[in-house]
Structure 1
């Protein structure tokens, strides 16, 4: 699906390389989770490379729950780019900043951003999950992507 005025959340606002490691991971893992199937196993594999198996499984499930909440309780469909795209969409930038604020202990700002993505009554739970995931990303000492494939400019929504 191409970016149109109906899908402003998919409009490119930057590049993945401009994000910190944890922010870039938020976007990349969101894209992988949306692809489903074996792509979700890649998320688990990354967590398992740093954490014990049980903790890695818990973090994978927590990230999945975070994404499911965005789908089930979203104020509108969350737009995303394809896994291979080096562009950063507006909704993806919001998602990454939300997780970053939560992990940095900026709870009020994270809650405010959560209300932009989901129903207000779901915002506290979404923020708690984002805090846990964001802290895990920080512990993983992720590096920002340096050589991301060329953009495909294919955008999709989380359904």
Structure 2
């Protein structure tokens, strides 16, 4: 986990927590709402829930995962994180190709669209503290 980007690590952690049941799902909601606010957090949670449900319902097989506290990353976890990150960076064709490793080919476009939403929400979470701590006095005074 230490070798992953913060967004990829969060995706894997959220996946693990989500699979652990209602307490884990509450922890995911708490983290999203705290970082994004209640409205954006609920939207991100809905997208994550839809993504995970689509993967579970239309998956080629059950996604395997490690325990929440484990520092290892399994192949399915790495594939899931890579898929969401690829989708969120606009590489739709590559993301759909990766999606076919997780779900049936006919579901790949839908899953990819939802993965974009999840990935962008996690990118917003990562950027939010940087925006809040930016010193606005360092901005140039010239406006165009």
User: 2:86 maps to what in 1?
Assistant: 101
- For residues 102 and 18 of structure 1, the distance between their equivalents in structure 2, rounded to whole angstroms, comes to 20
Distance 1:85 1:52 in 2: 28
Which whole-Å deviations, capped at 9, do the CAs of 1:58-115 have from their partners, x for residues lacking one?
2112101111111110011111101111000001000010011011111111000001
Establish whether residue 26 from structure 1 lines up as the match of residue 48 from structure 2: no
Q: Which residue of 1 aligns with 2:60?
A: 75
Structure 1 stretches of at least 4 aligned residues deviating more than 6 Å after TM superposition: none
Whole-angstrom CA distance in 2 between matches of 1:136 and 1:38: 21
Question: Could you say which structure has the larger radius of gyration?
Answer: 2
Normalized per residue, which structure has more helix? Answer: 2
Q: Cα RMSD (Å) of the superposition?
A: 1.1
- Measured in 2, the distance between the counterparts of 1:56 and 1:25 equals 14
Unaligned segments of structure 1, at least 5 residues: 1-15, 143-159
What CA distance in whole angstroms lies between the structure 2 residues aligned with 1:85 and 1:30?
13
The answer for the alignment partner of 2:140 in structure 1 is none
Distance 1:137 1:27 in 2: 12
Alignment of 1:6-17 (within 5 A): 16-17=1-2
TM-score by length of 2: 0.84
Query: Normalized against structure 1, the TM-score is what?
Result: 0.77
CA distance in 2, matches of 1:51, 1:87: 28
- Is 1:136 paired with 2:121? yes
User: CA–CA distance in 1 between the matches of 2:126 and 2:49?
Assistant: 21
Q: What secondary structure does 1:140 align onto?
A: helix
- 1:106-156 deviations in Å (ceiling 9; x for gaps): 1111000001100111111111111111111111118xxxxxxxxxxxxxx
1:126 aligns with 2:111: yes
C-alpha separation in 2, matches of 1:105 and 1:87: 28
- Total equivalences in the alignment: 127
